[in-house]
Amino acid sequence: MDRHPSARIDAALLSEITGQVDTTIGDPEITDLFNRVMSENLPAVAELAPDGTTYLLTGDIPAMWLRDSAAQIRPYLILCDRDPDLAETLVGVFRRQVEFVIIDPYANSFKRGTEPSPHASDRSGAGPQIWERKYEIDSLCFPLELGYALWRITGRSDHLDARFARAAQMILDLWECELDHDRSPYSFERDTTLVTETLSRNGRGEPVGPTGMTWSAFRPSDDACTYNYNVPGNMFAAVVLGYLEVIAKEVLGDAGIAERAARLRGSIRDGIQTYGLVDHPTYGRVYCYETDGLGRHVIMDDANMPSLLSLPLSGYLPPDDPTYLATRRMILSPANPYFFSGSHAEGIGSPHTHPNHVWPIALAVQGLTATDREEKLRLARLLADTTGGTGQMHESFDVDDPTRFSRPWFSWANAMMCELVLDLAGLRLADQVVEF
C-alpha cells in the first residue's frame, strides 16, 4: 500500500492553529511538541488502500484496530471542515472501518490483506483478514461515532450509504444477540498462561444474568473482562445508538433501524442504572467498571477509553454530573487498583501493562474531562515532560522513571495529547458536533 497522498494537514492551517496554541498556552515546549506530532502522526500511519479507502496502522503494530483508528484521528476531526483533502482522508478511514465491520463485527483488529497474523493459533473463528478476533463492544461504537461526527462537522453524508446501513444492521444484530450471551455464536480461546488473554469456560466467559446491557468478551485494553457487562462500553453504546437513530431518520430514511436503535438504547441505559451503580463506603454512589448481573462488580478503571474517566468524552454524562464526579474522585485515588503515583507522575494505568506504569492516554483523558483549566495545563505539561527523551507519547511509562516505557511509538496516545492541547487552545471536538 502507498502512504495516503492527502493525509497531511494543510500547512497554512497547521501554522494558524499552532500560533493559536502558542498564544493561548504560552509554553514553547508544548507548542513545539504539538506542531511536530500533529504534522507527523497521521501521515506516518495512513495508507491508501487499493479500494481508495484509508488503512490506518496503530503505530508500531502493522494492524488496524477499529477503536484505535477512530481515536487516532480525533484531533484532525476538529479541523477537517477547513481542509477538504484532510476530510477525504478521514472519510476513507470510516469507509475502511465499515468494510471491516461487514467482514466480521466480532473482530477488533484487521490486516491489510491476508498476510500472516501472530494470533493464527487462536481458536476464535477468525477469517484470513483478521489480525485478532477479541470481541469488544467499544470496537463497534467508534465507527458509529466517527460516521456521525463526519456528517455533523463537514455537512457531507455520502459516507452514510448502503454499505454503512448494512454494517449498522450487523452491529444491531450483534448487540441484540449479546443481550443474552447464551444465544451467541462467539467464543475465544488462546493457549496462554495469562488469564487476561483468553476466556474461561471453553472460551465462553463467566456466567452472567440478563441486565438489559449487551455482553462484551474483552475490554478496550484487549484484556479479558472479569465480568462481561463492561459498564463504560455500554455507556458508549447507548450514546452512539442515539447517533444511529438520528442518522437512520435524517439520512438513511430507515424507520426500522431507527426503531431498533432507540429500543436497544433504552434497554442498555436502564441496565446501566439498575446494575452499574454501587455504593462505595468512601465515595458514595459511583459507577462500577464491570458487573455480571448476578451481584458481582469490579471497582476500578482502566487507562483505555471508553473508561469511567472518559464518560464526558463518550457523551454519556457532562463533566459536572455529581455521580461522574464521585466516580472520578474514586478512580483517581488508591481505591482504583490501577491508579499509580510516583516521583514523576500519577495517573491511571492498566493490568495490560506493568504495575506503576501510567498511560499518557489516561493523562490526556483526565485533562480533557477536567473542568479546571489549571488541571488541564498541568496534565499537558506532564505529557510533554514524560516522553523519556523520545518526543513521542508511549503506551505507558514508569511513574518514577519516564525513560522506562512500553511501546516507543503509540499513535493513539500522540493523538490524545494533541486533542488536549487543542482543547486548551479553545478547539474542542464536542463544539464541532451537533448533538441529537
Q: Three-state SS string across the chain, please?
A: CEECCCCCCCHHHHHHHHHHHHHHHCCHHHHHHHHHHHHHHHHHHEEECCCCCEEECCECCCCEEHHHHHHHCHHHHCCHHHCHHHHHHHHHHHHHHHHHHHHCCCCCEECCCCCCCCCCCCECCCCCCEEECCCCHHHHHHHHHHHHHHHHHHCCCCCCCHHHHHHHHHHHHHHHHCCCHHHCCCCCECCCCCHHHCCHHHHCCCCCCCCCCCCCCECCCCCECCCCEEHHHHHHHHHHHHHHHHHHHHHHCCHHHHHHHHHHHHHHHHHHHHHCEEEECCCEEEECCEECCCCCEECCCCCCCCCCCCHHHHCCCCCCCHHHHHHHHHHCCCCCCCEEECCCCEEECCCCCCCCEECHHHHHHHHHCCCCHHHHHHHHHHHHHCCCCCCCCCCEEECCEEEEEECCCEHHHHHHHHHHHHHHCCCCHHHHCCCC
Please state, as a whole number, how many other Cβ atoms lie within 10 Å of the Cβ of residue 57: 20
Among the ranges given (57-61, 142-146, 342-346), the one the predictor scored with the smallest mean pLDDT: 57-61
In a domain, 309, yes or no: yes
How many domains, the chain? Answer: 1
pLDDT of residue 304: 97
In a domain, 433, yes or no: no
* Domain interval for residue 200: 2-428
C-alpha cell, 126: 477468525
Split at pLDDT 50, 70, 90, the class of 114 is: confident
In a domain, 436, yes or no: no
The whole-number average pLDDT for the span 277-291 is 98
pLDDT digit string, tens, across residues 246-264: 999 999 999 999 999 999 9
Residue 2 has pLDDT above 70, yes or no: no
Identity of the residue numbered 107: A
The whole-number average pLDDT for the span 215-240 is 98
- Give per-residue burial for 313-325: e unless 16+ CB within 10 Å, then b: bbbbbeeeeeebe
pLDDT of residue 356: 97
**CATH number for the domain harbouring residue 6:** 1.50.10.10
pLDDT of residue 7: 83
The whole-number average pLDDT for the span 149-171 is 98
pLDDT of residue 197: 96
The whole-number average pLDDT for the span 316-338 is 98
In a domain, 358, yes or no: yes
pLDDT of residue 1: 62
Torsion over CA: 68, 318, 434, 35 (sign): negative
pLDDT of residue 236: 98
Among the ranges given (74-78, 343-347, 377-381, 427-431), the one the predictor scored with the smallest mean pLDDT: 427-431
Residue 138 has pLDDT above 80, yes or no: yes
Residue 14 has pLDDT above 80, yes or no: yes
Q: What is the pTM of this model?
A: 0.97
Residue 81 has pLDDT above 90, yes or no: yes
Determine the Cα–Cα distance for residues 366 and 344; give it in Å rounded to an integer. Answer: 16
pLDDT digit string, tens, across residues 230-239: 999 999 999 9
pLDDT of residue 408: 86
pLDDT of residue 436: 65
Percent above pLDDT 70 for the chain: 99
Among the ranges given (20-24, 379-383, 407-411), the one the predictor scored with the smallest mean pLDDT: 407-411
Decide: 66 and 21 in contact? Cβ < 8 Å. Answer: no
Decide: 216 and 175 in contact? Cβ < 8 Å. Answer: no
